[in-house]
């Protein structure tokens, strides 16, 4: 999974995949494609719904429903396209995820949708 380290937002210092807010009229698939391109400069192949998490962080007074999508990696190198939002991009097998993980990914793992021992 491609993970980046968050900067200047809630969850600062946490590792998460590319993502962001849905824009008016977008589908989940369109949002995923746009966010991956905007954040790390990668075009992706097939995109499909994977899971949704209920993410509540009282310390930040934030409450989100996070839609997690699966995107087919078709090649290229991830770039730091938004250095004001992320500090790094790197590929990780589930058993080698860096810490700390962003709350939606923690909840995704807790919900049993992926095991840290799953092959990639």
Q: What is the pLDDT of residues 1-37, one digit of tens each?
A: 999 999 988 899 999 999 999 999 999 999 999 999 9
Secondary structure class of 21 (helix, strand, coil): coil
Task: Sheet containing 15-16: give its strands across.
Answer: 15-16, 2-6, 86-91
- Find out whether 78 and 119 touch, Cβ atoms under 8 Å: no
Instruction: Say how many CA atoms lie within 13 Å of 103 toward its Cβ.
Output: 17
- Find out whether 60 and 12 touch, Cβ atoms under 8 Å: no
Average of per-residue pLDDT across 109-117: 74
Domain range summary for the chain, segments of one domain joined by +: 2-110
Closest among 65, 52, 66, 61 to 18, alpha carbons compared: 66
pLDDT category at 117 given cuts 50, 70, 90 is low
Q: What is the pLDDT of residues 44-63, one digit of tens each?
A: 999 999 999 999 988 888 89
CATH 3.90.79.10 fits 2-110, yes or no: yes
pLDDT at site 116: 54
pLDDT at site 120: 45
- Find out whether 90 and 41 touch, Cβ atoms under 8 Å: no
Q: What is the pLDDT of residues 60-86, one digit of tens each?
A: 888 999 999 999 999 999 999 999 999
Q: Is 4 exposed, middle or buried (0-12, 13-18, 19+ CB in 10 A)?
A: buried
């Amino acid at each position: 999974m491609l993970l980046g380290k968050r900067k200047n937002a809630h969850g600062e210092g946490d590792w998460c995949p590319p993502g962001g807010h849905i824009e008016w009229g977008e589908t989940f698939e369109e949002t995923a494609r746009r966010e991956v391109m905007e954040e790390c400069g990668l075009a992706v192949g097939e995109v499909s719904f994977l899971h949704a998490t209920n993410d509540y962080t009282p310390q930040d007074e934030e409450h989100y429903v996070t839609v997690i999508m699966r995107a087919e990696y078709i090649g290229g190198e991830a770039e730091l396209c938004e250095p004001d939002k992320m500090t790094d991009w790197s590929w990780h097998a589930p058993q080698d995820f860096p810490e700390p993980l962003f709350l939606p990914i923690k909840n995704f793992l807790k919900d049993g949708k992926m095991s840290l021992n799953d092959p990639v």
